[in-house]
Amino acid sequence: MRILDKYIIREYLKNFLIIILAFSVLFIVVDIFDRLPRLLAKGATTKQLVLYFLTRIPYLFVLTSPVSVLLSGLFLMSSLSKYNESIAIRAAGISIFRMVLPLLIFGFLFSFVMIFFGEYVLPKAEDYNKYIYRNQIKKQPVQDIKMRSDIRYRGKDNYFYYIRFFDGYRNILKIIDITHYDPNTGKIQKKITADEGVWRKDKWVLKNCYIRKFDSDSIISSTKFDSTSLKEINITPLDLIKSAKKPIQMNYFELREYIQRLKKVGQNYNKNLVELYLKISFPFANFIILLFSVPLASSSVRSKWRGMIFLVGLMICFLFLSSLRISQSLGYNNVIPPLLAAWLPNIVFTIIGAIFVIKSEV
């Protein structure tokens, strides 16, 4: 590595750490002023408050990382230009792109760091944050998603399920009511009820089961089974363990598995699919947004617009995050495909950033 590369990276990291620390302190202070009165009103102890706000830091870090990356680059490039270092570097025959290449490599590698961070650190921090708030501060009982009651959802082929109780440890159902509707008329065609269901050899064995068929709301047949298994019931115990977590509390593989379960039972999974793709696309904003700091290296130290460049940088971050939210909403509502919704802002801003880099060489 050249001496210049080491110098660029060292100065950049110095700015980056200062800005990250400043943002963390600022957001924690704002968060404290916003949430502290409500937490104290619920009887939170000092230890609970400290843990609650500490576990908020990973989320704030992920949220502000693109802004921190860009501002660090802007401060560095402003310093190089202010003291004519960028001019001396270019006079030595080194192009602007080569000069900032260490920063671009850092941004690219940092994107992978953020993917790892979002995969392993953020979900655990968010999960523990919710645990502190719900179970320790609000004194709510810990929920066990393998022991559920009053389960309602729509399955495949217009089957609607109601299960009074599900024991996921023993894979037993209690009080089962399954209704099949005609999608055209909305009338009941079949109703299956049973006192109990046991998962055996990859199928549900129903006990004391009644199958009733209807025609124009009147029963045309009724059959009773002491024990039977039905092909209509194509769900598994895993399908019944509906996740109580939000996408941000799940890692990539957990969310992908959850989406597969939603697909199987016929539930809408568009929003979750957008969030799944965002777990990969959003971290790369740290690389893309860094491209916009490059033009500052070619600006003149006497330029009266130098002070405006930082405002422009913040505006770029605001526009990027705003476009991301708009694209998310379009993906949630199936206006555009979920994959495009997650990557469209990255594609657009990469093209704009690349144009800026090319023009800075002119």
- Cα distance from N-terminal residue to C-terminal residue, the chain: 27
Calculate the average pLDDT of the chain: 81
Tokens of 160: 């609607």
pLDDT at 253: 84
> How many other CB atoms are there within 10 angstroms of residue 340's CB atom?
15
pLDDT at 258: 78
CA-based nearest residue to 264, from 178, 155, 171: 155
pLDDT at 326: 92
3 state DSSP class of 228: strand
Residue type at 274 in one-letter notation: V
d(CA 181, CA 185): 8
pLDDT at 267: 65
Residues 226-278: pLDDT tens digits? 888 877 777 777 766 654 467 777 888 888 877 877 776 566 788 889 999 99
Mean pLDDT of 10-30: 87
CA-based nearest residue to 243, from 278, 284, 272, 214: 272
Q: What are phi and psi of 145, to 5 degrees?
A: -70, -5
d(CA 171, CA 224): 23
46 vs 142, more confident:
46
Name the range with the highest mean pLDDT among 95-109, 289-303, 341-355: 341-355
3 state DSSP class of 219: strand
CA-based nearest residue to 190, from 152, 223, 227: 223
Residues 297-350: pLDDT tens digits? 555 544 555 556 667 777 888 888 889 889 999 998 888 999 999 999 999 999
Please report the beta strands in 304-344, taking only residues with DSSP state E, as ranges in sequence order.
none
What share of the chain in percent tops pLDDT 70?
87
